[in-house]
Chain A
Amino acid sequence: MDDVSLEISQGEILGLVGENGSGKSTLIKILSGIYVPDRGHIWIDTKCYKFLTPSQAIKEGISVIYQDFALCPNLTVAENIAIAQWMFSGKRLINWRNLYHAAAKSLSRLTDHIPLDVEVGTLSTADKQIVAIARALLENARLIVMDEPTTALTEKEIVTLFSLLRKLRDQGITIIFVSHKLQEVKQLCDRIVVLRDGRKMFDGSAQEIDLPTLQVYMTGRVIETTAAMPREVSTLQPPLLRVVGLSLPPYFYNISFELKPGEVLGITGLLGSGRRELALALVGILRPISGAIYIEGKQAKIQHIWDAWKNGIAYIPEDRITEGLHLPCSITANVILPILAGGFQRRTFFKYSQYKNVGEEWRSKLNIKAPTAETPVKNLSGGNQQRVVLAKGLATKPKIFVMNCPTMGIDVGSKADIHKMIRLLSANGLGIVLISDDVPELLQTCDRIIILKNGKIASEISPQLTTEEKLYAILLQENKNTQQL
């Protein structure tokens, strides 16, 4: 970070945006007292600090809520909220009744649907977040820093979170909202600060700036957000993938669709609509109870992910860290893994050095930013890691790509690159099934969009005939119906 000045007044929601490596996390860590700045001062009210220690930060009421929320899954909600505060106030013994009372008081400022005596591990992500906020409030937080709070939330939960944060702001609590989802930042925040390469690029009211300008500040380049060109997908061509009556209760029922070569089919729906399970069923991780999958007209039995590979279906999992990559291994090792393990090349013994050129080839082909293909994947940024996952799938020379939220938690620049790549792949005749909850992404890349609702196909729309607002409306309106049911 280089010569960044920031000013935050009480009862304000400040949006802090920037790409990966722009210095957002460094700034947070300085505020919470983990890093010590080389130069500069921190003024809180009228006090001036050269740097903060973690305990000073807490005393001054600065509280950081990290992405993992830092909760104990094995303890109850009440204990998670109150124990740290009891520890800081120097108590030695626990009075459980008082502890529950304190926790209840803090939690009631936010919501009333979370019971105090359940284990945190059983809560949903959104509820865990609320527990983390309640803990910060009990510690008398005046400034709450939230690091990427919306990544793991559904559309509806984000709406709830935003109204909650606005409520807190009205109670006089200052919030720094760190994100790279520009739309959300603009929607929620009063003021926006953009960081790039450790410098402040922009600081101003959220009303005065529009999204494209914000994007330019953030990435330093203009990103094309033109909607997908309406392309001629010949209706005469035989379908590449045909799914007939696929059912797996209680996740999805009677799903049928077709995918032509060169087509990008979007599948969306709220969390729990069955979109994730449908993706898993297409690649054989879940086994549907009834229905059939035809690939190029022939029925394919996909009982296992190996069958999917052999039938030319590649899969990009939702969570690249746990499902997509072997983090300590090199790019090469990750890329060649499905080729070797999937039985595309049967060898009893193999020599790693023979495959080094394969890794290099994919590194240059997909423009992965790494010194060599031997770099461990964990050293790469999110966008580049996702490119390695793509390379893994592409190395098996698939005909069909099933992508499950491929741009989750990636900065805007890499996201645009991946969208470009998707269009390029489909232009080469691949069929792509894109499962996503990112509405702009669906509109930009897909030829058709299927909306799932309670495990059934609710409607099918063409992106040319709809707008972001309409699609959001469809998703949320369905949500209301679900609640009524």
Chain B
Amino acid sequence: MKIKKVLNKHETMLFLTIWIVSGVIGTFNPAFLSLATVFEILRGSVPYALMGLGILPVLLLGEVDISFVGIAAVSSLVAHTLLRRWGYVGGLGGYVGLAMPIGVVLGVIVSLISGFFKLPVFAVSLGFWLMLYGFNLFFISPEMRFDLPAGLVGFYSNFLFKIRDPVVGETGLHVGVFYVLLCASLIWTLLRYTIYGRGFYITGGNKEVAFRTGYNIISLLCIAMAINGALAAFAGVLQCAYKRFFDPILFRGTELFVIAADVIGGVSITGGRGSVVGVLLGVIFIQVVTRGLIYLGVAPTWQQFTVGVLLTTFFVITGLRGQIRREFIRKLTLCVKRQGKNEES
């Protein structure tokens, strides 16, 4: 009974899928199966995982937001411009301390507009997506900014511990992974162990119930968008520090990847379903697929097409999963039973 329940979980299935996909890639190119790749994938996942976690409460409410990439770009670039003007030379702390409040404010503005005018967040965020990138290009800087402060130089190799790899050279577990785990555990606690956090699930399942229970739906949306904005800003700063330049059109075009990762992780686009673990696995799945294609030698021109095909296949399979899963579990339990009988006899 318990095995059945764990197997029935979307997260378990996704976890197994990631292992199978990695195994397949590894058989074609054994270089893929190394600790260095794991660290690479984890480091590459950091900004997407942060944004994916941020959008989770919004998606749980049954809303879709795409403006978070714009929020990431504006908050990171504005923070950088201001800090450079003030002569800041420190590290990540100052950047995060300035960018995150900006992200929160922008997120709350989006949620207030949608809450008070009773608009879907998606509609408002379409406008904000364009507006924020336009703001960056027109008011702040149309060019990439390479003038990193001393404290941020070398952030890309800020490892918690290092290993030597025959192919890649020196690599290790990036400190960003630790930040992701910290944020993930905070959001997990909020969503699972606080009455307020359960409000996201209740609202996503049945708005009427949330209202009658006494949740303020606009306040829930505000908090969700504040979390979304804050984590997007954090992701923006980390990505810029890692790539060694601040970009006015940072993350432009990756918003759908983030949402896709969440949906792969089992988050329902109509609200009420989704978990922190699922989001993290979804992000890792996309990273494994995109990186795996490089290892398989798929031409860069074909990569987007292939990823698209893979994603569609994944969604079709999960759509069919009711049948397939039931069949799979039936066979598995049969096997277990048979084994049990054999042992008895």
> A88 contacts B214, CB within 8 Å?
yes
A75 to B194 Cα, complex, angstroms: 15
Out of B198, B209, B268, name the residue touching A94 (CB < 8 Å): B198
A93 to B194 Cα, complex, angstroms: 4
Out of B193, B195, B208, B268, name the residue touching A83 (CB < 8 Å): B195
List A residues 64-91 near B (Cβ within 8 Å): 68, 70-75, 79, 83-84, 86-88, 91
Point out the residues of chain B lying under 8 angstroms from A71, CB to CB.
Answer: 206, 209
> B206 contacts A87, CB within 8 Å?
no
> B193 contacts A94, CB within 8 Å?
yes
Nearest B-chain residue to A64, judged by Cβ: B212
List B residues 189-217 near A (Cβ within 8 Å): 192-196, 198, 201-202, 204-206, 208-209, 212-215
Shortest CB distance A278–B (Å) = 25
Nearest B-chain residue to A32, judged by Cβ: B212
> A75 contacts B202, CB within 8 Å?
yes
Instruction: For the complex, count residues of B whose C-beta is within 8 A of A.
Output: 20
A88 to B215 Cα, complex, angstroms: 11
A92 to B152 Cα, complex, angstroms: 39
- Which of A68, A71, A74 is most buried by chain B, counting CB atoms within 10 A of its CB? A74
**Known pairs A70-B209, A72-B272, A74-B272; A83 contacts B202 (CB<8 A):** yes
Point out the residues of chain B lying under 8 angstroms from A55, CB to CB.
Answer: 214
Answer whether residue A54 sits at the interface, using C-beta atoms and an 8 A cutoff: yes
**Known pairs A54-B212, A83-B213, A84-B213; A73 contacts B194 (CB<8 A):** no
> B205 contacts A93, CB within 8 Å?
no
- Which of A68, A87, A88, A91 is most buried by chain B, counting CB atoms within 10 A of its CB? A87
Shortest CB distance A84–B (Å) = 5
Nearest A-chain residue to B206, judged by Cβ: A72
A48 to B201 Cα, complex, angstroms: 38
> B212 contacts A92, CB within 8 Å?
no
Shortest CB distance B57–A (Å) = 15
> B214 contacts A87, CB within 8 Å?
yes
Task: Encode contact with A along B247-286: 1 for CB under 8 Å, 0 otherwise.
Answer: 0000000000000000000001000110000000000000
> B209 contacts A86, CB within 8 Å?
no
Point out the residues of chain B lying under 8 angstroms from A73, CB to CB.
Answer: 205-206, 272
**Known pairs A84-B213, A87-B214; A70 contacts B206 (CB<8 A):** yes
List B residues 19-39 near A (Cβ within 8 Å): none
Point out the residues of chain B lying under 8 angstroms from A91, CB to CB.
Answer: 195
Point out the residues of chain B lying under 8 angstroms from A74, CB to CB.
Answer: 201, 204-205, 268, 272-273
A54 to B214 Cα, complex, angstroms: 10
Nearest A-chain residue to B207, judged by Cβ: A72
Mostly helix, strand, loop or mixed at chain B's interface? helix
Point out the residues of chain B lying under 8 angstroms from A84, CB to CB.
Answer: 212-214
Shortest CB distance A292–B (Å) = 30
Shortest CB distance A484–B (Å) = 26
Point out the residues of chain B lying under 8 angstroms from A72, CB to CB.
Answer: 201-202, 205-206, 209, 272
Shortest CB distance B211–A (Å) = 10
Nearest A-chain residue to B199, judged by Cβ: A87
Point out the residues of chain A lying under 8 angstroms from B214, CB to CB.
Answer: 55, 84, 87-88
> B193 contacts A75, CB within 8 Å?
no
> A92 contacts B196, CB within 8 Å?
yes
A357 to B6 Cα, complex, angstroms: 61
Point out the residues of chain B lying under 8 angstroms from A86, CB to CB.
Answer: 195
Point out the residues of chain A lying under 8 angstroms from B273, CB to CB.
Answer: 74
List B residues 43-59 near A (Cβ within 8 Å): none
Shortest CB distance B155–A (Å) = 36
Shortest CB distance B2–A (Å) = 11
A288 to B194 Cα, complex, angstroms: 51
> A70 contacts B195, CB within 8 Å?
no
> B272 contacts A94, CB within 8 Å?
no
Point out the residues of chain B lying under 8 angstroms from A93, CB to CB.
Answer: 193-195
A201 to B214 Cα, complex, angstroms: 37
List A residues 111-131 near B (Cβ within 8 Å): none
> B212 contacts A70, CB within 8 Å?
yes
Shortest CB distance B263–A (Å) = 16
A70 to B196 Cα, complex, angstroms: 19
Nearest A-chain residue to B202, judged by Cβ: A72
Nearest B-chain residue to A95, judged by Cβ: B193
Point out the residues of chain A lying under 8 angstroms from B193, CB to CB.
Answer: 93-94
Out of A54, A68, A75, A94, name the residue touching B205 (CB < 8 Å): A75
List B residues 142-185 near A (Cβ within 8 Å): none
Point out the residues of chain A lying under 8 angstroms from B202, CB to CB.
Answer: 72, 75, 83
Point out the residues of chain A lying under 8 angstroms from B194, CB to CB.
Answer: 92-94
A477 to B185 Cα, complex, angstroms: 56
A453 to B214 Cα, complex, angstroms: 46
Nearest A-chain residue to B5, judged by Cβ: A117
A92 to B213 Cα, complex, angstroms: 14
A94 to B193 Cα, complex, angstroms: 5
Nearest B-chain residue to A68, judged by Cβ: B208
Nearest A-chain residue to B268, judged by Cβ: A74
Shortest CB distance B268–A (Å) = 8
Out of A68, A87, A94, name the residue touching B213 (CB < 8 Å): A87
> A92 contacts B195, CB within 8 Å?
yes
> A75 contacts B201, CB within 8 Å?
yes
A83 to B198 Cα, complex, angstroms: 9
Point out the residues of chain B lying under 8 angstroms from A75, CB to CB.
Answer: 198, 201-202, 205, 272
A126 to B334 Cα, complex, angstroms: 32
A72 to B192 Cα, complex, angstroms: 16
A75 to B191 Cα, complex, angstroms: 13
A79 to B205 Cα, complex, angstroms: 12
Point out the residues of chain A lying under 8 angstroms from B213, CB to CB.
Answer: 83-84, 87
A184 to B202 Cα, complex, angstroms: 34
A70 to B273 Cα, complex, angstroms: 18
Nearest B-chain residue to A55, judged by Cβ: B214
Point out the residues of chain B lying under 8 angstroms from A88, CB to CB.
Answer: 214
Q: List 8 A-B contacts (CB under 8 A).
A: A55-B214, A72-B205, A73-B205, A74-B201, A74-B272, A87-B195, A87-B214, A94-B192
Q: Which 5 A-B pairs have the closest CB atoms?
A: A72-B205, A74-B272, A74-B205, A84-B213, A72-B206
13 new A-B contacts at CB < 8 Å, known A79-B198, A87-B213, A87-B215: A54-B212, A55-B214, A68-B208, A72-B201, A72-B272, A74-B273, A83-B198, A83-B202, A87-B214, A88-B214, A93-B193, A94-B192, A94-B195
